[in-house]
Amino acid sequence: QSALTQPASVSGSPGQSITISCTGTSSDVGAYNYVSWYQQHPGKAPKLMIYEVSHRPSGVSDRFSGSKSGDTASLTISGLHTEDEADYYCASYTNTITWVFGGGTKLTVL
């Protein structure tokens, strides 16, 4: 149950686009389309942003999108807003019927 690999930090300016990667293995990310992404502001609970690789829950801005290629999933945020500054975590179902999160990525909007 090793954590999925995410960059520790990414940054961008308002209006720009950024992409956060999430690398797993053929036992988790690569095996299933069950990757989800969560946004967490300081001191707050995580919030679901993307599920099943690329689906957005109702109420989540269409500036957020997800994709997957092989063992790596990606979250793209387009048209950055200052309120997008937060920590982002990916998660995946695994072939041992467990779930694994990424280490988290701190997004700074400059």
Partner 1 sequence: QVQVVESGGGVVQPGASLRLSCTASGFTFSTYGIHWVRQAPGKGLEWVALMWYDGTNNYYADSVKGRFTISRDNSKNTVYLQMNSLRDEDTAVYYCARASGYGFSFLDYWGQGTLVTVSS
Contacting positions for partner 1 (CB under 8 A): 1, 3, 32, 34, 36, 38, 40, 44-48, 51-52, 57, 87, 89, 91, 93, 97-104
The β-bridge relationship of strands 99-101 and 47-50 is unpaired
Which residue type occupies 80?
L
Residue 28 CB, shortest distance to partner 1, in Å, is 11
SS (H, E, C) 67-108: EEECCEEEEEECCCCHHHCEEEEEEEECCCCCEEEECCEEEE
CB of 42 or CB of 83, closer to partner 1 = 42
| Min CB(108)–partner 1 separation in Å | 17
- Residue 2 vs 17, nearer CB to partner 1: 2
Shortest CB 36 distance to partner 1, Å: 4
For partner 1, the closer of residues 4 and 109 by Cβ is 4
